[in-house]
């Protein structure tokens, strides 16, 4: 065996032995300054955010009543009328296949999107952002792309745990393709919405149903378990999610309702991705779900799927949606729009 190969083998065996003895690193307290390599808007926003408290963020409701109280305490969303006026879109509540949805129509349809539709699922850990809150990002993408959108107000726990959300997504999608070509539909969303869209595609494959033309996976909650490296590395750094060991982990268990969290219809990263449509991913270096995003992207690439990954410096979970005034946000949505133009038939 060549000398270099022997050296590499010894190093690999040594590393394995060391990891077996103690695989957990205990890091001392370190300072995390406001990032320098980002826009002034993003840096100032981060600098002005108090350091998240992991301990106070590590609590979660324990009963259905406590979950209901937490959900109802969340600040009301921006009224639909104001969203419509602010973005120049029309928003109408409808029912498709007995599922509540919001149809968003921009003032002018772009010529390349005359026959296209964006089917959107909202985020919120499968428990938050129902009702009128379900439509905000769908309305933004619709306005920017000049494309009609439908936001699904899917059922959520405590009253409607898994698989209700997947069933609602599938029902709406199957209804839509009765009158339009599947390849003219883009599906997706952010966070749990992105995870739901990916899970729904696994279900569509099980049903041998035709798949959509493109997928938007915004910081997808693709793994409901605490497995990804950044669930640990970015704990207390992600200023949106902060930690898994609180309402996030509690919401995962509430939504799963006793089912195996590694079921691909709950955690789509564990599914098989061959023949998936072209997919665009986005995350940030401070995102608790960065590992979920990266792992899912790599599995798609390994399966031969066209998959683009965009990671923004210092951005926390779905920061592109919260920081609309930041250049990074504008850059991201332009990337998404260009991707949809390229891949929708």
So where are the chain's domains?
40-343
Give CA separation, 32 vs 233, 237, 283, 284, 289, in Å: 13, 9, 19, 16, 19
Residue 24 has pLDDT above 60, yes or no: yes
Q: What is the mean pLDDT of residues 265-271?
A: 98
pLDDT of residue 22: 67
Neighbours of 265 (CB within 10 A): 21
Average confidence (pLDDT) over 193-203: 98
Determine the pLDDT at residue 7.
45
What lies within 8 Å, CB to CB, of 213 at 6+ separation is 182, 183, 184, 185, 186, 277, 278, 343, 344, 345
b/e map 97-123, b = 16+ CB within 10 Å = eebbbbbbbbeebeeebeebbbbbbbb
- For residues 18 and 222, the model is more confident at 222
In this prediction, residue 232 carries a pLDDT of 96
* pLDDT score for 2: 55
Mean residue pLDDT across the chain: 93
Residue 23: per-residue pLDDT: 82
pLDDT computed for residue 21 by the predictor: 58
CB distance 135 to 83 below 8 Å: yes
pLDDT at 156 over 90: yes
Q: Quick one: pLDDT at residue 28?
A: 78
Say what the pLDDT of residue 6 is. 46
Q: Assess whether pLDDT exceeds 50 at residue 168.
A: yes
Q: What is the mean pLDDT of residues 107-131?
A: 96
Residue with structure tokens 């003032």? Answer: 107
Statement: residue 109 has pLDDT above 70: yes
Identify the residue whose tokens are 């990891």. Answer: 19
Q: Is the pLDDT of residue 165 over 50?
A: yes
Average pLDDT over residues 120-129: 97
- Residue 150 β-bridge partners: 103, 119
Exposure b/e, 211-243, CB count within 10 A at least 16 = b: bbbbbbbbbbbbbbbbbbebbbbbbebbbbbbb
For residue 4, the model assigns a pLDDT of: 58
Average pLDDT over residues 313-317: 98
Tell me, what's the pLDDT at 176? 98
Q: Is the peptide bond before 158 cis (omega within 30 degrees of 0)?
A: yes
> pTM for this one?
0.93
The band of 30, judged by pLDDT with boundaries at 50, 70 and 90, is confident
| Residue of 121 and 28 predicted with greater confidence | 121
Phi, psi of 294 (to 5 degrees): -65, -45
Please report which helix (H) or strand (E) contains residue 92, including its range.
strand 90-96
Instruction: Give pLDDT, residue 5.
Output: 53
Structure confidence at residue 3 as a pLDDT band (50, 70, 90): low
pLDDT at 18 over 70: no
What CATH architecture does domain 40-343 belong to? 3-Layer(aba) Sandwich (3.40)
| Residue 290: alpha-carbon gap to chain centroid | 10
Question: How many CB atoms within 10 Å of residue 49?
Answer: 12
């Amino acid at each position: 065996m060549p000398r270099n190969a022997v050296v590499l083998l010894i190093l690999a065996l040594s590393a394995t032995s060391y990891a077996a003895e103690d695989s957990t690193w205990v890091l001392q307290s370190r300072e995390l300054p406001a990032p320098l390599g980002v826009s002034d808007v993003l840096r100032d926003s981060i600098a002005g955010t108090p350091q998240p408290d992991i301990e106070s963020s590590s609590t979660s409701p324990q009963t259905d009543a406590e979950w209901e109280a937490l959900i109802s305490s969340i600040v009301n969303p921006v009224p639909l009328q104001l969203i419509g006026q602010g973005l120049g879109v029309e928003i109408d509540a409808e029912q498709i296949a007995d599922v509540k949805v919001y149809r968003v129509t921009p003032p002018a349809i772009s010529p390349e999107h005359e026959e296209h539709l964006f089917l959107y699922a909202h985020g919120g850990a499968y428990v938050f952002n129902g009702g009128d809150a379900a439509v905000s990002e769908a309305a933004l993408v619709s306005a920017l792309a000049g494309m009609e959108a439908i936001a699904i107000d899917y059922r959520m726990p405590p009253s409607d745990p898994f698989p209700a959300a997947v069933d609602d997504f599938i029902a709406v999608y199957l209804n839509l393709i009765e009158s339009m070509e599947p390849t003219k539909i883009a599906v997706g969303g952010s966070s749990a919405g992105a995870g739901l869209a990916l899970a729904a595609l696994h279900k569509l494959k099980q049903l041998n149903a035709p798949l959509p033309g493109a997928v938007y996976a915004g910081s997808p909650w693709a793994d409901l378990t605490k497995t990804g490296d950044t669930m640990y590395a970015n704990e207390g750094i992600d200023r949106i999610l902060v930690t898994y060991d609180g309402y996030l982990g509690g919401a995962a268990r509430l939504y799963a309702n006793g089912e195996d969290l590694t079921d691909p219809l709950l955690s789509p990263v564990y599914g098989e991705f061959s023949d998936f449509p072209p997919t665009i991913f986005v995350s940030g270096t401070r995102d608790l779900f960065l590992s979920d995003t990266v792992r899912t992207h790599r599995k798609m690439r390994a399966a031969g799927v066209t998959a683009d990954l965009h990671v923004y410096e210092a951005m926390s979970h779905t920061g592109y949606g919260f920081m609309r005034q930041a250049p990074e946000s504008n850059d991201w949505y332009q990337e998404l729009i260009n991707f949809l133009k390229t891949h929708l038939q």
